[in-house]
């Protein structure tokens, strides 16, 4: 199971209702990580009862302040709370330079180590049960998006198993392990019962303008989280962001199952927000507008 919580959904500046960008991910109740860390990140983590001391990995899409300004406070609070486990921070080129500067601001002791990893498109961060792959995005400064992808698992097709008289138990476990078994005079091979099940795929673009080169990385996602800073018709020229029409076009061309748009301009309040939502629903019925505190749970 993967839980995704939106801690910040505003573009550039916070509003009364929205913090700047931050996403919290929790995989099967053990691995927790963040993507982007807006300035109100740690307050949101506390408000929603999320165990931020168990966050060991932070992924930054790009080094605009609304996407990283919460790092200093979060890093300091982790130290004050007695953290000893190292923290890994990932981002595009120049990440080490920027983190070196951030970590020398102010007077405080940090009793744990921070490892900074600069990623290029195509680089993979591998965990026990999933990977996170960087892909190229198209912002005004160096930027990357991230593809979360569970590793495939071997699962018994119990309808096929039933034809052999098999039920859940040790024999199924042997088949999953690749062993051929004998049961009631039948020789049963793993491929007779066991199937490879594809894992979840979730993509977060961060800030980017529309570019079809991203489709290859996004295609087939169970969930696409992408910016749509503007409603259709509101975006000015030479702005390195997407509007709703572009976000929906990207989702449809990549054949994603579910679309959630975030990073809304602060202009979308009251009637303007209602119009924004209506425009999105008219374009793509399986799409939602993110809001702070929104939680999504996905199962393979």
pLDDT at site 237: 84
CB atoms < 10 A from the CB of 145, how many? 29
Q: What is the pLDDT of residue 29?
A: 72
CATH architecture of 2-152+198-298: 4-Layer Sandwich (3.60)
In SS3 terms, the chain reads as CEEEEEEECECCCCCCCCCCCEEEEEECCCEEEEEEECCCHHHHHHHCCCCHHHEEEEECCECCHHHHCCHHHHHHHHHHCCCCCCEEEEECCCHHHHHHHHCCCCCCCCCCCEEEEECCCCCEEECCCEEEEEEECCCCCCEEEEEEEECCEEEECHHHHHHCCCCCCHHHHHHHCCCCEEECCEEECHHHHEEEECCCEEEECCCCCCCHHHHHHHCCCCEEEEECCECCCCCCCCCCCCEHHHHHHHHHHCCCCCEEEECECCCCCCHHHHHHHHHHHHHCCCEEECCCCCEEEECC
Q: Quick check: is 207 catalytic?
A: no
What values do phi and psi take at 56, rounded to 5? -110, -5
* Backbone torsions φ then ψ of 12, nearest 5 degrees: 70, -55
Per residue in 250-287, pLDDT tens? 999 999 999 999 999 999 999 999 999 999 999 998 89
Nearest to 32 by CA among 10, 9, 8, 59: 59
For the chain, domain boundaries: 2-152+198-298, 154-195
Query: Which tokens hold the place of 283?
Result: 């374009």
Report the pLDDT value the prediction gives residue 300, as an integer from 0 to 100. 83
Which regions in the chain score pLDDT beneath 50?
Answer: none
From the candidates 36, 66, 207, 222, give the one annotated as an active-site residue.
66
Could you give the CA distance from residue 208 to residue 144 in angstroms, rounded to a whole number?
9
């Amino acid at each position: 199971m993967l839980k995704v919580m939106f801690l910040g959904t505003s573009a550039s500046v916070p509003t009364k209702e929205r913090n700047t960008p931050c996403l919290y991910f929790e995989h099967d109740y053990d691995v927790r990580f963040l993507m982007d860390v807006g300035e109100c990140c740690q307050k949101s983590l506390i408000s929603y009862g999320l165990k931020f001391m168990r966050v060991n990995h932070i992924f930054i899409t790009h080094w605009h302040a609304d996407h990283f300004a919460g790092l200093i406070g979060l890093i300091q609070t982790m130290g004050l709370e007695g953290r000893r486990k190292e923290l890994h921070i990932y981002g595009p080129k120049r990440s080490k330079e920027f983190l070196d500067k951030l970590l020398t601001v102010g007077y405080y002791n940090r009793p744990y180590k921070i490892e900074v990893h600069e990623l290029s498109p195509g680089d993979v961060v591998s965990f026990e049960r999933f990977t996170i792959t960087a892909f190229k995005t198209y912002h005004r400064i160096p930027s990357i998006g991230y593809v979360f992808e569970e590793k495939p698992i071997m699962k018994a097709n119990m309808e096929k198993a039933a034809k052999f008289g098999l039920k859940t138990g040790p024999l199924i476990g042997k088949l999953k392990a690749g062993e051929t078994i004998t049961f009631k005079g039948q020789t049963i091979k793993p491929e007779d019962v066991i199937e490879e099940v594809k894992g979840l795929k979730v993509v977060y673009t961060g800030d980017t303008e529309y570019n079809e080169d991203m489709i290859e990385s996004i295609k087939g996602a169970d969930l696409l989280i992408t910016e749509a800073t503007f409603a259709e018709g509101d975006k000015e020229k030479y702005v390195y962001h997407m509007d709703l029409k572009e976000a929906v076009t990207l989702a449809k061309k990549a054949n994603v199952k579910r679309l959630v748009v975030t990073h809304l301009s602060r202009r979308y309040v009251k009637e303007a927000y209602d119009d924004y939502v209506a425009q999105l629903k008219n374009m793509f019925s399986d799409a939602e507008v993110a809001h702070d505190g929104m939680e999504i749970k996905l199962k393979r």
